[in-house]
Amino acid sequence: MALQHASSGQVIALQRSGEDGSQFSSIALAKTDDIELIRLVLPAGKSMPEHWVKGQITFQCLSGEIAFDAHGRTTTLRGGEMLYLEGAAPHGLTAVTDSVALLTIVLKD
């Protein structure tokens, strides 16, 4: 069965009360030919090894604290902070505390 993505104009809950932040989960919220929106729940200590994606990205920490490695340095993002990366920039991350993040990937060149 295909994943149901949000439709245009639909409200998406990014923060969910009672959610178990100690369990990793990732869900694609919406995807078009141009962008993909992904919600990540990252338990403390969860790492994503260095990788890259073709398109530009924004990574927004909605809650918690995430150590984000890119451009030869580590930046700590806290709830309400975000960063931008150019396409193909190698990056990795580690959740310092239970965290929720929103990742946007630009799919078109």
HSE of 10 in the Cβ direction (CA atoms, 13 Å)?
10
Task: Quick: pLDDT tens for 26-44.
Answer: 888 999 999 999 999 999 9
Could you give the 3-state DSSP secondary structure of residue 55?
coil
Contact 94, 47 (CB under 8 A): yes
Where is pLDDT greater, at 81 or 1? 81
Q: Which range (13-17, 47-51, 59-63, 84-88) has the least confidence?
A: 13-17
Task: Tell me how long the chain is.
Answer: 109
Tell me the domains of the chain and their CATH numbers.
Answer: 25-106 (2.60.120.10)
Task: Quick: pLDDT tens for 56-89.
Answer: 999 999 999 999 999 999 999 999 999 999 999 9
Cα dist from 12 to 19, 21, 35, 81, whole Å: 15, 18, 16, 19
pTM of the model: 0.84
What is the DSSP code string of 34-48? SEEEEEEEE-TT-EE
